[in-house]
Amino acid sequence: MSKIKYIKLLIPLIFMVFLQTCSQHRKLVDLQMKKQPVVELKHVKLRGKLRVITDFNSTNYFIYKGRTMGYQYDMLKALAKHLKVKLELSVNHDLESSFKALENGEVDLLGMNLAATQERLNKFNFTVPHSQSRQVIVQRLESLDSSIYLRDKIDLVGRTVCVARGSSFEQRLLNISKEIGAQINVKSLDHVEEEELIAQVADGKIDYTIADENVALVNQNYYPNLDIKTQISFTQNLAWALRKGTTNLTRDINMWLIDFQKSKEYRRIYRKYFKSKRIEERLQSEYFTLKSGKISEYDDLLKEKAQIIGWDWRLLSALVYQESHFNPKARSWVGAFGLMQLMPETAYRYDVDTLSSPIENVDAGVKYLKFLEGKLDETLGDKTDKLKFLLAAYNVGLGHILDARRLAEKNGQNPDKWNGSVDYYLLNKSKPEFFNDPVVKYGYCRGNEPYQYVRKILDRYQHYQNIVLLNQISS
């Protein structure tokens, strides 16, 4: 049987078992609900954000052609939408410090593939499973006919297997060692991720690691020299973790998760990351950032031009993605064009047009940002929120931003503060009672566009920071 047919047969089988388990969990949670009513989740909702630690890999959280994607990412976004809060996502590949951050209340949730072991259940709350998988040995195919090829867990005796410290893989190997009464050399590593070890096996740097089968199956598309057929566990539930004592938050997430897994949206997410024909295309792409380190073909250009305004190149990349999705031929309905979507009057000022090169377009856009920054420096007393003002001005024009500042000041708000002050008046500048105010000089504005523009760029910039190293050298 070919590898592709094997994957197509296996994944639906796992999915069917998973749905049956979800139904059983729903009944259990319903019983819990009758015993104790849900209390409003004020501690998260008043804060306005759900703080989550995750890890990035080829299925859970990654960047492809500048776009943030992933099974865990899409699920967590849907959860935040359900809670009506912002998703604040950070990355940590060290499980011990991640659990410590959760225990200390620094984050609300560990949103990754976590096996609910008894030791963890004693210390933390776990949600109902978001997926299921088995643990498998990851080894190279070149070992097939050699004495070091492993086909059963008993073959692990005397072998050195590299896993992340504190992971369920580490615990499973220790348990197997006790079960068979023989020594397995478990090499526990700090600050390392499951896929990083899979890559090291494929490259011949280490001989063996352990991985969740669903993650290993996706990586086998990228590393065809891997064998992942040797299972060392039964099917395990993978879940998210919360602090002990967060009963209401855990229950609310469980109720949502059980219902969500029955929805069309969940089936779409599952197909996209585990059953799509485009998985291999994505993994092999030059702009699958996790493997290549590249966001777009314009990385070098943006690194160079970002220096003109003293920006992190990843921030400039986030802006260009928002403007054009890195398409130099992009045109908007109002006439903006190129990577930086310059309006004709702005382009004329910097001597560029639709025939200009991407280099000239970005150069002009950055010079315009520099110009706007100078104007804001003359205006803002407190420059803490200058970046937000600058991004909004680039999107909608400086005049509308100055109008919003005047409205804020007139109404007793801080004109140098963005959140809850100037952004509010800009957002409402499409209403007559706002744009007809005597202090307004530039009239009507579709304020929702710059408001969302600022939010989306800063969110994407955070994702780029999570996954792309500042000084990463593209391969």
| CATH number, domain containing residue 97 | 3.40.190.10
Q: Which amino acid is present at 200?
A: Q
pTM of the model: 0.84
Q: How many domains does the chain have?
A: 3
CA-closest candidate to residue 93, choices 466, 461, 464, 463: 466
User: Do residue 375 and residue 424 come from a single domain?
Assistant: yes
Write the CB contacts of 259 (distance below 8 Å, at least 6 apart in sequence).
Answer: none
- Whether 279 is covered by a domain: the verdict is yes
- Return d(Cα 454, Cα 472) in angstroms, integer: 25
User: Do residue 367 and residue 315 come from a single domain?
Assistant: yes
Tell me what pLDDT residue 34 has: 41
Give pLDDT tens digits for 376-393. 999 999 999 999 999 999
User: Do residue 217 and residue 156 come from a single domain?
Assistant: yes
Write the CB contacts of 162 (distance below 8 Å, at least 6 apart in sequence).
Answer: 187, 189, 197, 200, 206, 208, 209
- Host H or E run for residue 426: helix 423-427
- Asked if 323 is an active-site residue, the reply is yes
**39 band by pLDDT with thresholds 50, 70 and 90:** very low
Tell me what pLDDT residue 342 has: 97
**280 band by pLDDT with thresholds 50, 70 and 90:** confident
- Return d(Cα 29, Cα 259) in angstroms, integer: 11
Q: Is the pLDDT of residue 163 over 70?
A: yes
Q: Which amino acid is present at 265?
A: E
Range with lowest mean pLDDT among 49-53, 221-225, 448-452, 454-458: 221-225
Tell me what pLDDT residue 267 has: 94
User: Do residue 266 and residue 310 come from a single domain?
Assistant: no
CA-closest candidate to residue 51, choices 84, 78, 90: 90
Query: 10 Å Cβ neighbour count for 160?
Result: 12
Active-site choice (280, 323, 378, 409): 323
In sequence order, which ranges of 181-312 are alpha helices (DSSP H)?
194-202, 213-222, 247-260, 264-274, 279-284, 289-292, 299-309
Tell me what pLDDT residue 40 has: 44
The predicted model gives 279-304 an average pLDDT of 92
User: Do residue 372 and residue 463 come from a single domain?
Assistant: yes
Q: Is the separation of the CB atoms in 415 and 405 below 8 Å?
A: yes
Q: Is the separation of the CB atoms in 120 and 239 below 8 Å?
A: no
What three-state secondary structure class fits 229?
A: coil
Tell me what pLDDT residue 453 has: 97
Q: Is the separation of the CB atoms in 454 and 388 below 8 Å?
A: yes
User: Do residue 346 and residue 217 come from a single domain?
Assistant: no
User: Do residue 121 and residue 254 come from a single domain?
Assistant: yes
- Of 252, 271, 290, which residue constitutes the final position of a domain? 290
User: Do residue 51 and residue 173 come from a single domain?
Assistant: no
User: Do residue 189 and residue 151 come from a single domain?
Assistant: yes
Give pLDDT tens digits for 389-428. 999 999 999 999 999 999 999 999 999 999 999 999 999 9
Tell me what pLDDT residue 30 has: 45
The predicted model gives 49-68 an average pLDDT of 94
**143 band by pLDDT with thresholds 50, 70 and 90:** low
- Whether 237 is covered by a domain: the verdict is no
- Whether 50 is covered by a domain: the verdict is yes
- Whether 363 is covered by a domain: the verdict is yes
Domain region containing 402:
299-467
Helices 264-274, 71-83: axis angle to 10 degrees equals 160
User: Do residue 313 and residue 182 come from a single domain?
Assistant: no
User: Do residue 149 and residue 215 come from a single domain?
Assistant: yes
Give pLDDT tens digits for 84-127. 999 999 999 889 999 999 999 999 999 999 998 888 999 999 99
